[in-house]
């Protein structure tokens, strides 16, 4: 019996080491494609305020992020504009945004920049099964931690329906129930994400295929607005909705 337990423990350790090595290799192709989203103000201090994360998809000049990250109207009198930042730390490039394709219903935005960056492959498969291992890479709490991509790992805890947020708290329950008549499913994750992670790619650690987009504001507000003490649960929009946006004509 002791021999069998020791063998089982040894196998579990080997499996864990193999999975860790797998993610190390996958990160080599993930990190060059991950970007930060910021607001540039030529007269402000700082000149660029980081507000979220994103990632490049084929052909390399298209950047995925959340709609809520770039939805706010900027002050034109201050020459404010949204920009994409590639690189990390003090070594980065600022990319102007040429155009946007928006999908507010799924909180997705597809930005076009002049340059091409390394891109990630977006999954065309069904929802990844509950219990599957996942990872995501982005810029958590960007204004505090700076332009240093961080990776978090966990599992898919559940497939759960989304409820759309409302402007008036008095309409909250009715509106949510109406949305749940035709819900779409999102990933609930057993992994910690932060507001700056909004727009980060959620991917398979074994091959780097993107299965979703981290969303830490829109979904959390939808699902947890009635809680006095919101949970630390993280969510992500499945990649199928991104593919729909990517396939729309400009």
CA–CA dist 237, 22 (Å, integer): 24
pLDDT at 175 over 50: no
**Range scoring the smallest mean pLDDT among 76-80, 119-123, 135-139, 201-205:** 76-80
pLDDT for 21: 82
pLDDT at 29 over 90: yes
Higher pLDDT, 179 or 62: 62
Cβ atoms of 211 and 123 closer than 8 Å: yes
pLDDT at 12 over 80: no
147: left (phi over 0), alpha (psi -120 to 50) or beta: beta
Query: Mean pLDDT throughout 182-194?
Result: 87
- Tokens representing 129? 């099964």
pLDDT tens string 135-157: 999 998 766 667 899 999 999 99
pLDDT for 190: 93
CA–CA dist 16, 12 (Å, integer): 6
Query: Mean pLDDT throughout 44-72?
Result: 94
């Amino acid at each position: 019996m002791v021999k069998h337990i020791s063998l089982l423990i040894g196998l579990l350790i080997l499996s864990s080491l193999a999975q860790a090595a797998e993610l190390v290799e996958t990160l080599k192709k993930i990190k060059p494609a991950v970007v930060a989203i910021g607001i540039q103000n030529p007269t402000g201090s700082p000149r660029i305020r980081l507000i979220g994360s994103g990632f490049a998809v084929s052909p390399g000049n298209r950047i995925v992020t959340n709609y809520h990250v770039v939805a706010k109207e900027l002050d034109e009198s201050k020459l404010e504009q949204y920009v994409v930042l590639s690189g990390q730390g003090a070594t980065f490039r600022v990319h102007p945004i040429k155009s946007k394709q928006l999908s507010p219903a799924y909180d997705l935005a597809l930005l076009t920049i002049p340059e091409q960056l390394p891109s990630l492959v977006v999954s065309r498969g069904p929802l990844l099964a509950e219990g599957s291992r996942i990872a995501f890479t982005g810029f958590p709490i960007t204004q505090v931690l700076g332009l240093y991509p961080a990776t978090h790992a966990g599992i898919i805890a559940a497939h759960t329906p989304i409820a759309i947020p409302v402007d008036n708290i008095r309409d909250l329950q009715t509106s949510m129930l109406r949305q749940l008549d035709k819900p779409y499913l999102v990933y609930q994750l057993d992994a910690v994400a932060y507001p700056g992670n909004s727009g980060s790619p959620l991917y398979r650690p074994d091959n780097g295929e993107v299965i979703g987009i981290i969303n830490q504001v829109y979904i959390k507000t939808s699902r947890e607005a009635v809680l006095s003490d919101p949970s630390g649960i993280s969510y992500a929009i499945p990649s199928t909705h991104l593919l729909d946006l990517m396939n729309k004509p400009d």
